[in-house]
Amino acid sequence: MERRDFLGALAAAPAALGLAGGRMPEDAGRGGGAAGGERSTRGDYLAWSAEERDYWFFNAGDGLDRLRRLADRHCAAADFRELARSASGLPVYGFRLGSGPRPVAILSGMHGCEPSGPRGVLAFLDALLGGARPFGRPLDAARLLARLTLLVFPLINPGGAERFALHFPDSWHGTWIPDWNDANAARFYAEGNEPCKFFYGTYVKQAPMRFTPDQIAQWEATGHVIGSSMTDQGLDMWFDWDDTHGIETRALKQILAAVRPYCVLDFHNFMFPTEVFLPTIPSASYQADESALAAAIHAEWRARRLLFNPRPPRGYPKPPEKYYEDAWFHQIGARCLIVEFNGGMLATAGAEYEPIPGMRALTRRESLESAYAAACALAEALA
């Protein structure tokens, strides 16, 4: 396969890419100024699975390095571009794989405190490009890439991921917050959502969930950083798909509107237990397709004995105002699924929570496998 311009639709949307040449400067994403080698260090005392070793990056810089190295090893098989830079200068990367007639998009890492999706997507890319078999689960890359054109955006809020790693050095809550009690829940929400409570008295987000530069300056004067669920600009991308303000959201919208994917899969990673959701506002045109795709993901998880909520898929709980992401995907003609992997915590406070007998929090390895398996199942169901 020849190296091509990223996205055939770019002729119609030349502004869709942030950099004219498409390649990134050598130091892009290497927070900390490392010389390009492995940044991760994993003590030998840690019982890492092979998949955690290969795909569980510790912070955004580490993850961006790994994505760039993977792209460099397979530059003939995938277009790899920097779509935008966050306000702190971290790149938002996109991969384009395959030449099939059906475009499919995968987004992950919208919220920096939700680490499993980006790592599972890295595993998925390695299986497609490098022939890896994470968790013993192969992919027929030749077949999939002949039928699909995959647009993969592995870490769409790199600034949030980097801040998350400041507070959770292996980017996994479960290591550092062993119990889901009230005090630890407050720490969890503060890390992700402040300065929400600082200004509004609650960690519960209110649409459109964005802070002004003046508010951010006030918050940072207290010695704290913006919550990791938000971008470097202090907004939550989930609420940013109508009157878009965010650098990262704008770049993604331009590409997705130009390509008009058949389906968008959006990985999140907070609630308990793991669940696949339909979009917030149902669409009679797409609901049957979306339900069938959700069933394919369920079947994959069931076969792999991964825990999840097996109920028929429901719409994502609707916020009181109109700001939410998934209605926009329907507007551009895409089926959409939102997948919430359990992130190793027993968070039961959200409107999404449903108690299921026998459930427990997933381990880091299980959470990573859930994300990898969901991407595999969706791609195979659509090919």
Q: From CA 38, how far away is CA 57, in angstroms rounded? A: 10
Least distance CB 275 / Zn ion (angstroms): 13
**Could you tell me which of 113, 153, 129 has the C-alpha nearest to residue 252?**
153
* Half-sphere exposure at residue 133, Cβ-oriented, CA atoms within 13 angstroms: 4
CA–CA distances in Å: residue 181 to residues 178, 187, 346: 9, 10, 9
Q: Which is nearer to Zn ion, 79 or 114 (CB)?
A: 114
Give rounded-to-5 percent helix, strand, coil for the chain: 40, 10, 50
Candidate ranges 183-191, 204-212, 267-275, 363-371; the one touching Zn ion (CB under 5 A): 267-275
Q: From CA 294, how far away is CA 62, in angstroms rounded? A: 31
* 111 sits near Zn ion (criterion: CB under 5 A): yes
Q: Count the residues of the shown chain that bind Zn ion, applying the rule CB under 5 A.
A: 3
* 173 sits near Zn ion (criterion: CB under 5 A): no
Q: From CA 91, how far away is CA 100, in angstroms rounded? A: 27
Candidate ranges 9-17, 88-96, 107-115, 144-152; the one touching Zn ion (CB under 5 A): 107-115
Give me the residue whose beta carbon is nearest to Zn ion.
Answer: 268
Least distance CB 266 / Zn ion (angstroms): 8
Candidate ranges 109-117, 166-174, 310-318, 327-335; the one touching Zn ion (CB under 5 A): 109-117
Q: Which is nearer to Zn ion, 59 or 108 (CB)?
A: 108
Least distance CB 189 / Zn ion (angstroms): 13
Strand partners, 89: none
Q: Which is nearer to Zn ion, 65 or 191 (CB)?
A: 191
**Could you tell me which of 305, 299, 307, 300 has the C-alpha nearest to residue 344?**
307
Angle at 378 between CA 372 and CA 383, to 5 degrees: 125
310: left (phi over 0), alpha (psi -120 to 50) or beta: alpha
Candidate ranges 44-52, 261-269, 274-282, 349-357; the one touching Zn ion (CB under 5 A): 261-269
Q: Which is nearer to Zn ion, 95 or 277 (CB)?
A: 277
Least distance CB 91 / Zn ion (angstroms): 21
Q: From CA 344, how far away is CA 363, in angstroms rounded? A: 6
Q: From CA 304, how far away is CA 366, in angstroms rounded? A: 10
Q: What is the residue type of 271?
A: M
Angle at 31 between CA 27 and CA 33, to 5 degrees: 60
Least distance CB 110 / Zn ion (angstroms): 5
For residue 13, the tally of other CB atoms under 10 A from its CB is: 14
Least distance CB 246 / Zn ion (angstroms): 14
Q: Which is nearer to Zn ion, 333 or 350 (CB)?
A: 350
Q: From CA 129, how far away is CA 70, in angstroms rounded? A: 8
* 163 sits near Zn ion (criterion: CB under 5 A): no
* 137 sits near Zn ion (criterion: CB under 5 A): no
Q: Which is nearer to Zn ion, 277 or 301 (CB)?
A: 277
- Could you give the 3-state DSSP secondary structure of residue 382? helix
Pull the structure tokens for residue 13.
């949307």
Candidate ranges 245-253, 263-271, 300-308, 330-338; the one touching Zn ion (CB under 5 A): 263-271
**Chain centre to alpha carbon of residue 38:** 22
* 268 sits near Zn ion (criterion: CB under 5 A): yes
Candidate ranges 12-20, 37-45, 54-62, 105-113; the one touching Zn ion (CB under 5 A): 105-113
- Residues 28-67 touching Zn ion, rule: CB under 5 A, are none
Least distance CB 26 / Zn ion (angstroms): 31
Candidate ranges 71-79, 104-112, 124-132, 313-321; the one touching Zn ion (CB under 5 A): 104-112
Least distance CB 267 / Zn ion (angstroms): 8
Least distance CB 269 / Zn ion (angstroms): 6
Q: Which is nearer to Zn ion, 114 or 352 (CB)?
A: 114
Q: Which is nearer to Zn ion, 149 or 244 (CB)?
A: 244
Contact predicate 11/47, CB 8 Å: no
The residues binding Zn ion (CB under 5 A) are 111, 114, 268
